[in-house]
């Protein structure tokens, strides 16, 4: 090796740590810049609340502006902390782009509704009108949320349990599949809401009828995906278990069901979305409490701000339920972490 090559290699070795520090500093600067932009977007939202007088009579404008300024300050503090804390840098890197978009959307929303009136009232309420609903109508909204949660959890739990048991039975037993499979072909393609007249006639109360509809919407995807999971288990697993002296019950509970759990959770996710769609319709058809009932009541009074507030709460509930189900899946299927990349 020539003298020039040796010296070049030594120079690169000396420049390596320095270049890595420069790259790291550049990343931190980019993260902090995005955080500062997010802070400015929320600052713009707060300033838009005081830009000019509201065209409507809303009493929460000052509170909304103060909350926007506080959020802007918190984002700025976290962005500055990215210089010293890797955790803060990770938080800013994940959340800042969405915070930028949300601040801009809220500022534009405030301008075109409360300040300029480009969108007609009451169909397009301002942000402070939504906040008023949460502060002034909180007891009624909370009662509706609690009623919907009880109805949703009951119907979903029943549908998931029945669907799981039915799916395992069809996948394991040909005799059960012979009798149940035609029923699935008949009931499955029909939306759960099509059974409304029969449900309200067959059940003694609107609450029990709504529970049945939610369970029906949940049960079909859970049944089909569980059945598919059990049926797709490799015969080699059963052969190995039988060689070791496993009984049929062991094959079902220790081989078939664990191997089918990934399919089961897909069905649970699909059933969760279907159950929320049916929940609104079911609560509009006779239930005297719940978010669906609240939406119908708000629509009757042309209280569109209340409708949007209830829809936002419903989306948060659905998102929270999906997040909880993801965590349960990750806990139960932790053995797949080394096999499947989530």
> Which of 60, 89, 120 delimits the end of a domain?
120
Which is more confident, 222 or 245?
222
User: Helix or strand or coil: residue 46?
Assistant: helix
- CATH number of the domain encompassing residue 329: 1.10.3720.10
Q: What's the domain range around 255?
A: 137-336
Average pLDDT over every residue of 232-242: 85
Q: C-alpha distances in angstroms, 111 versus 26, 49, 119, 248?
A: 36, 8, 10, 67
Q: Are 164 and 268 within one domain? A: yes
**Closest CA relative to residue 306, chosen from 146, 149, 131:** 131
Nearest CA-CA partner of 250 in 267, 262, 237: 237
Are 40 and 107 in contact by the 8 Å Cβ rule? The answer is: no
User: DSSP label at 246?
Assistant: -
**Residues 145 and 112 reside in one and the same domain:** no
Does any domain span residue 342? no
So what's the pLDDT on residue 81? 83
Q: 151 with 294, same domain?
A: yes
pLDDT in tens, 186-195: 887 788 888 8
d(CA 172, CA 155): 26
Q: Is the peptide bond before 170 cis (omega within 30 degrees of 0)?
A: no
Question: Is 128 among the domain residues?
Answer: no
> What integer best gives the mean pLDDT of the chain?
84
The distance of Cα 100 from the centroid of its chain, to the nearest Å, equals 21
Residue 155 lies in a domain: yes
175/293 same-domain check = yes
Q: Residue 4: pLDDT above 50? A: no
Q: 198-207, 243-252, 330-339: lowest mean pLDDT where?
A: 330-339
Residue-wise pLDDT tens digits, 82-114: 777 778 777 777 888 899 999 999 999 999 999
Whether residues 57 and 141 share a domain: the answer is no
231: CB partners within 8 A, 6+ apart: 171
Q: What is the largest CA-CA distance in the chain?
A: 94
Average pLDDT on 276-290 reads 80
Q: How many domains does the chain have?
A: 2
Q: What is the pLDDT of residue 19?
A: 54
Q: Which residue has the higher pLDDT, 289 or 323?
A: 323
Residue 127 lies in a domain: no
Q: Say if residue 193 is in the same domain as residue 295.
A: yes
Residues 175 and 200 in one domain: yes
* Residue 129: alpha-carbon gap to chain centroid: 25
- Of 120, 148, 168, at which residue does a domain stop? 120
Per-residue confidence (pLDDT) for residue 324, from 0 to 100? 93
In a domain, 132, yes or no: no
């Amino acid at each position: 090796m020539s003298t020039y090559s040796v010296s070049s290699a030594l120079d690169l070795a000396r420049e390596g740590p320095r270049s890595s520090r420069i790259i790291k500093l550049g990343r931190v600067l980019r993260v902090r810049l995005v955080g500062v932009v997010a802070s400015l977007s929320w600052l713009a939202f707060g300033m838009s609340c005081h830009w000019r007088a509201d065209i409507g009579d809303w009493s929460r404008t000052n509170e909304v502006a103060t909350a926007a300024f506080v959020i802007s300050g918190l984002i700025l503090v976290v962005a500055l902390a990215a210089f010293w804390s890797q955790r803060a840098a990770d938080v800013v890197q994940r959340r800042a782009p969405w915070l930028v978009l949300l601040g801009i959307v809220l500022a534009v929303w405030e301008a075109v509704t409360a300040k300029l009136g480009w969108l007609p009232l009451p169909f397009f309420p301002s942000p402070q009108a939504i906040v008023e609903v949460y502060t002034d109508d909180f007891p009624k909204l909370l009662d509706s949320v609690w009623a919907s949660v009880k109805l949703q959890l009951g119907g979903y739990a029943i549908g998931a349990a029945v669907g799981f048991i039915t799916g395992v039975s069809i996948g394991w037993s040909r005799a059960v599949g012979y009798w149940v499979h035609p029923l699935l072909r008949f009931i499955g393609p029909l939306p759960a809401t099509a059974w409304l007249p029969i449900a309200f006639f067959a059940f003694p109360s609107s609450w029990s009828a709504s529970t049945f509809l939610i369970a029906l919407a949940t049960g079909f995807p859970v049944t089909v995906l569980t059945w598919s999971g059990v049926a797709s288990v490799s015969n080699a697993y059963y052969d190995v278990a039988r060689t070791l002296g496993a009984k049929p019950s062991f094959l079902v509970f220790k081989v078939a069901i664990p191997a089918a759990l990934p399919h089961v959770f897909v069905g649970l996710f699909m059933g969760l979305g279907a159950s929320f769609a049916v929940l609104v319709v079911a609560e509009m058809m006779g239930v005297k409490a719940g978010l669906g009932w609240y939406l119908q009541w708000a629509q009757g009074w042309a209280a569109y701000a209340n409708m949007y507030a209830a829809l936002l709460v419903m989306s948060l509930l659905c998102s929270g339920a999906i997040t909880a189900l993801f965590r349960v899946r990750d806990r139960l299927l932790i053995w797949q972490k080394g096999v499947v990349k989530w």
